[in-house]
Amino acid sequence: MEFLQSEFLIETIVPEDELIISRTDLKGNITYANETFAYISGYTVEELIGKPHNIVRHPDMPKRVFKQMWEKLQRKEKWEGVVKNLRKDTGFYWVHATISGVYKDDKLVEYKSIRIPISHTEKIKFQRLYDSYRNIDKENIRKIIYT
């Protein structure tokens, strides 16, 4: 994958006092996004609603992380993990996400996700870990064109 935009290298820092919140239907299409999610991801709330949540999927994220996430959700368990997300302008932001089911009369109807900032040290650790997963799984080796 090649990225020509130099914004690709720019990080947006999630402020300590902010929560990024979204809900999706059972297929992962966004049904709710708070204002913080919108401004951190560079989209408007209107642009996010109805879109698949992989709209913010970053190419550095290994497939196995989301595979394990969906497996856990399908077992009706909560998933927690570190995610690097892609902004509309191709910049990025790191979060710690907690995803779980939304139940109505004991029936699973949606998923919800709450995300908080992580430390610089954690970002470095997870960048290295996810780079190693992608190398092992032979997927999406980064190639950045500097402009």
Stretch that binds ligand FMN, among 2-10, 20-28, 118-126, 133-141 (CB under 6 A): 20-28
Instruction: Report in angstroms how near the CB of residue 67 gets to ligand FMN at its nearest.
Output: 8
Shortest spacing between CB 119 and ligand FMN, in angstroms: 19
Query: For 141, phi and psi rounded to 5 degrees?
Result: -75, 130
Give the number of other CB atoms < 10 A from CB of residue 134: 19
Q: Which stretch binds ligand FMN (CB under 6 A): 7-15, 51-59, 117-125, 128-136?
A: 51-59
Looking only at the bridges linking them, the beta strands covering 143-144 and 92-104 are unpaired
* Cβ-based nearer residue to ligand FMN, 2 or 139: 139
Window of 3-11, 50-58, 121-129, 131-139 that interacts with ligand FMN by CB under 6 A:
50-58
Q: Are strands 143-144 and 2-3 parallel, antiparallel or unpaired?
A: parallel
Q: Does 51 bind ligand FMN (CB under 6 A)?
A: no
User: Is residue 113 part of the contact set for ligand FMN (CB under 6 A)?
Assistant: yes
Nearest approach, Cβ of 147 to ligand FMN (angstroms)?
25
Taken as a whole, the chain contains a residue count of 147
Task: Say whether residue 87 binds ligand FMN (CB under 6 A).
Answer: no
| 3-class DSSP assignment, residue 71 | helix
How far is residue 107 CA from its own chain's centroid?
25
How far apart CA 103 and CA 107 sit, in angstroms, is 5
Do the Cβ atoms of 48 and 33 come closer than 8 Å?
Answer: yes
81 near ligand FMN, judged by CB under 6 A:
no
